[in-house]
Structure 1
Amino acid sequence: MGADRTEADLPASIGRRLRALRARTGRSLASVARELGISASALSQIETGAMQPSVHRLVELVGVLGAPVSAIFDDHAVAASPDPGAAGDLAEPVPGVFVARSGTETTAHLGQGVTYRRLTPVPIPGVEHFESTYPPGASSSADGGLLVHAGYESGRVISGTLTFEFADGEVELGPGESLSFAASRPHRVANRTDRVAVATWLTVVGATAPAE
């Protein structure tokens, strides 16, 4: 996505890509909404950019569509293969080497002011690498719902403090601290402080927990 795109454009862009992904699967708006447990009207608002999904809802939605979270960031994830000529922020200076220059990253603005930024120039099959920013009081789900998805997840807090909630307990991490867990374990991320918190995430789909 080129630098001329404004932040106001981003929710609509995310919705457009989600709609394109849904169309590619042949799923109707009603069937996807029913599987998510929301109304078709609510899903339509997400697809038009009128509503910003929470982290929880976004991960659920791309999971239903069989797509990675990286699909929301640019058209490369929607296309069959990366096309460096399709966007101004991506170059291929050496064949097969993709480069995204500083200052051209796309940030996804989600519910409660949470933002996600992909840390790889193009999607990498089976790997998700992101930076997330949680404003004071923000969380991955406003209703307290715990998220379950595929893969093995590692998170590292860069600044601020985040609380990681699980069905059987919680862990609070500050700057420089990290954790790893199977993403199939129900979880939720929350910033219970009055300061912005930033973390990086690496999720590997198909990976399993290390042997004890």
Structure 2
Amino acid sequence: MNNLGSRLKEIRTRAGMSLRELARQANVSPSLVSQIENGKSQPSVATLYAFSQLLNVSVDELFDSSTNGGAPHAPDDGAEPETERDGWMNPTRAWHPSEYANRVSVVHPAHRPRLAMADGVVWERLTATPEHDVNFMKISYEPGATSTAGGDLVSHAGYEYGFVLSGQLDVTIGEELFHLHAGESLGFDSVIPHVLHNPGPEPFEGIWFVHGGRH
């Protein structure tokens, strides 16, 4: 389990919203919110989006930066060379101070903040720091995993673009169903009700980019 529950509770408390009020507005039970905040349960993708919109925070701000390497930092001096033999920057040293430190970043796999949600859905943030209007992520769905509890279609602000790395993914958008395989991609307006589902026997992995609105 990651620290999503404690972060949600902190943000909710800071916003001055009671647990029952958040549950009412998100159309879930107070016991579910309590279980999520206490680390005993995980939200679906749809519930996570609902919480972020009601609490006026970006989904990016909910990523766990303490599990997988924590906040970016430079390794101790002498731990690893700054550059590879071919002259390229060593990704594990990407946070070593440089002329472009505030404009260029590389995220090593060990340093990716992540969100583990219900039904075996995991998001890994591919940006080095939280972004307010953009989500750039690697996402994975275990076999049978769905972005919403019960497979209900949901909508939110923004546009989504996805690329399938491996496995397969069913994306229902409005009344249309798109069955995607490795190498295929799609884009759509997230205001259109939609749901993601892995129908295959193998885990699905893809690159997902969401922008526009507040996520």
The TM-score range, normalised by the shorter chain, is: 0.7 to 0.9
CA distance in structure 2 between the aligned counterparts of 1:89 and 1:96, rounded to whole angstroms: 12
CA distance in structure 1 between the aligned counterparts of 2:193 and 2:44, rounded to whole angstroms: 16
8 Å contact kept, 2:65–2:114? no
One-letter amino acid of the structure 1 residue matched with residue 208 of structure 2: W
Residue-pair matches, total: 187
Larger radius of gyration: 2
CA distance in structure 2 between the aligned counterparts of 1:29 and 1:154, rounded to whole angstroms: 33
One-letter amino acid of the structure 1 residue matched with residue 22 of structure 2: V
Decide which of 176, 188, 195 is 1:181's aligned counterpart: 188
Offset, 1:101: 3.2
Provide TM-score, normalisation by structure 1: 0.81
* 1:129 alignment counterpart: 136
* 1:170 alignment counterpart: 177
Within 5 Å, give how 1:60-75 maps onto structure 2: 60-74=50-64
One-letter amino acid of the structure 2 residue matched with residue 157 of structure 1: V
8 Å contact kept, 2:142–2:203? yes
Runs of 4+ in structure 1 deviating by more than 6 angstroms, as ranges, are none
Decide which of 184, 197, 203 is 1:196's aligned counterpart: 203
Instruction: Give me the identity figure in percent.
Output: 35
One-letter amino acid of the structure 2 residue matched with residue 156 of structure 1: F
Within 5 Å, give how 1:152-167 maps onto structure 2: 152-167=159-174
Q: 1:133 to 1:102 in 2, by over 3 A?
A: closer
Q: Secondary structure at the match of 2:199?
A: coil
CA distance in structure 2 between the aligned counterparts of 1:166 and 1:88, rounded to whole angstroms: 36
One-letter amino acid of the structure 2 residue matched with residue 181 of structure 1: F
One-letter amino acid of the structure 2 residue matched with residue 141 of structure 1: T
8 Å contact kept, 1:73–1:107? yes
8 Å contact kept, 2:162–2:207? yes
Provide TM-score, normalisation by structure 2: 0.80
CA distance in structure 2 between the aligned counterparts of 1:132 and 1:189, rounded to whole angstroms: 11
Instruction: Confirm or deny that 1:143 pairs with 2:143.
Output: no
Instruction: Confirm or deny that 1:33 pairs with 2:40.
Output: no
Q: Identify unmatched segments of 5+ residues in structure 2.
A: 75-94
8 Å contact kept, 2:120–2:141? yes
Offset, 1:102: 3.4
Offset, 1:107: 2.5
One-letter amino acid of the structure 2 residue matched with residue 22 of structure 1: R
Offset, 1:174: 0.8
Offset, 1:99: 4.8
* 2:9 alignment counterpart: 19
Instruction: Confirm or deny that 1:117 pairs with 2:107.
Output: no
RMSD: 2.0
